[in-house]
Chains A and B, each alone.
Chain A
Amino acid sequence: MKVFAFSKRNDLEILRDPLNLFFGVGFPIVLLLLLTVIQRNIPVALFEIGHLAPGIVVFGLSFMTLFSATLIAKDRGSSFLQRLYTTPLTAEDFILGYLLPILPICIAQSVICFAMAALLGLPVTIHILTSVLFTIPVSLLFVSLGLLCGSIFTDKQVGGICGALLTNLTAWLSGIWFDLRLLGGAFQKIANLLPFVHAVEMERAVLQGDYTGVFPHIWWVIGYAAAVTAIAVFTFLRQMKRQ
């Protein structure tokens, strides 16, 4: 009940911010439309809708880090969180209240992206549904990154770090916009050590119904999600104690 009240508040704070709606829903849709038009004029295999849609879904989820981190950093910066620390909410309530309500938003965002992709020619199959399910560990990764960044940085810093740096890292190191093999070398090695390209490759495999192709990417995604969540929880609890 307590967590539900706090979660509902966090959902409303995020969903009522028009900028969040633009970047969370509008921007990925614009990208899908734009790249599909480009693909029709200058055919590029990378931008074929079945290849592009999973990448845009993962890229769209990277904005959830920004939304989550901004909310937490603003709460920390104002006296709001201090007020809540004096209520019967427990540490677990805070962590669940910040993590859980954003997951349904992530799923809704993925559904909207795939629905748009279907309108642009993506065959409607059961694999779309399984692709949405496979976004859950990816979503947890990005939302936990939000909890981590929101626990460390101010809301202004979060804008730069999550809004610019992380979204760009996700974009460039995920193989959404270009095949990483084109650059190869250290760039590709670094990209392969990070979870973003694995999230995109996993989603692409699922969407094609190639469930063996999910491996080993899913282990990278789950591993990063688990590690980031653990670090984020530890960091949040530490800042809570400091407050």
Chain B
Amino acid sequence: MDAIKTVELTKKYKDVTAVYGLNLTVRQGELLSLLGVNGAGKTTTIKMLTGLTRPTSGDAYLLGKSILTESAAIKVMIAVSPQETAVAPNLTVGENLELMAGIHGFPQTQTRDKVAELCDRFGLGEVANKRAGKLSGGWQRRLSIAMALISDPQILFLDEPTLGLDVLARSDLWDMIRALKGSMTVILTTHYMEEAEALSDRVAIMKSGRLLLTGTPAEIKRHAGTDKFDEAFVRIVKEAAQ
């Protein structure tokens, strides 16, 4: 079974079509990056797949469940780490993780074990008792991803996970994202080409709400006739404009 399969997925806002007839398949355990310039439709696509906005037409199936009719079942299987850091600022790191465990209905012992496991995995132990709002951007982003992972999601959506981070913090997060590969399906949106190339099994390039191309980073470069991934992206997007 595919992790995600969209069928003519479309979203219109009054006169503007944000996503136009998207047909995309993501395999289980795959890390797929959604690439595109601003207004390409990446965020709208993620919003539809995560149940934040309803498609105007078409449907999508997450592990066989329809986003139109089975959103409650889908919410149990997915997790989202939004673009902005979405943490509760006056709660400590540990309390933020406990909050997410509580929201997923974990009993106390399981919550304790999961919080300890994630603190260990993400190196959050040293800041576990610090308030989230007092942490640096890099630490907050780590926490944000850890919060998404507490429910052991089968599909994880990472929206611009390294936006605004310095080189070291970004490198740390890349390692953490790489470690997730294979254990769950990951959909990543990013503006950083080197990030997409380094992390993705496959890449989907969107422009003006339409899907232009999908393929591995190597296939994308071959298609564009260049050995530089960022150059390939620019060529493909510019060609589509002509």
Interface residues of chain A, those whose CB is within 8 Å of chain B, are 1-2, 4-6, 8-9, 12-13, 16-17, 78-80, 82-89, 243
**Known contacts being A6-B99, A85-B51, A86-B50, is A16 close to B90, with CB within 8 Å?**
yes
Chain A residues contacting B89 (CB-CB under 8 Å) are 13
CB-defined contacts of B75 to chain A, threshold 8 Å: 86-88
- For residue A13, which residues in chain B have a CB less than 8 angstroms away from its CB? 88-91
From the candidates A5, A12, A17, A79, name the one contacting B103 in the complex (CB within 8 A). A5
Known: A9-B88, A243-B52. Is A87-B83 also a contact (CB below 8 A)? no
A27–B83 CA distance with the chains assembled, in angstroms: 38
Q: A9-B91, A13-B91, A86-B50 are in contact. Are A78 and B103 (CB under 8 A)?
A: no
- Please name the residue on chain B nearest to A242 by beta carbon: B53
> Can you report 16 A-B residue pairs in the complex whose CB atoms are below 8 A from each other?
A2-B105, A5-B102, A9-B95, A9-B99, A79-B85, A79-B86, A80-B87, A82-B52, A83-B81, A85-B52, A86-B50, A86-B52, A87-B79, A87-B151, A88-B76, A88-B103
Interface size class of B (residues with CB under 8 A): 20 to 34
Contacts of A82 in B (CB 8 A): 52, 80, 82, 86
Q: Which of A8, A82, A84 has the most CB of B within 10 A?
A: A82
Residues in B whose Cβ lies below 8 Å from that of A80:
86-88
Binding site for A on B (CB under 8 A): 50-52, 72, 75-76, 78-91, 95, 98-105, 131, 147-148, 151
A8 touches B102 (CB 8 A): yes
> What is the CA–CA distance of A89 and B100 in the complex, to the nearest angstrom?
10
Q: Of B78, B83, B87, B102, which is within 8 A of A4 by CB? A: B102
Q: Which 9 A-B pairs have the closest CB atoms?
A: A5-B102, A79-B82, A79-B86, A83-B86, A79-B84, A16-B90, A80-B86, A86-B80, A86-B50
Interface of chain A, main secondary structure: helix
* CB closest residue in chain A, given B95: A12
What is the minimal beta-carbon distance from B189 to any residue of chain A, in angstroms?
Answer: 13
Contacts of B98 in A (CB 8 A): 5
Contact (Cβ within 8 A) B72 A88? yes
Which residue of A2, A4, A86, A87 has the most chain B CB atoms within 10 A of its CB atom? A86
Bound Cα distance A225, B165 (Å): 46
Complex Cα distance, B131 from A89, in Å, reads 24
Q: Would A87 and B90 be within 8 Å (CB), given that A5-B99, A79-B82, A243-B52 are in contact?
A: no
- Chain A residues, CB < 8 A from B79: 86-87
Q: How far is the CA of A85 from the CA of B80 in the complex (A)?
A: 10
Q: Which residues of B contact A84 (CB under 8 A)?
A: 103
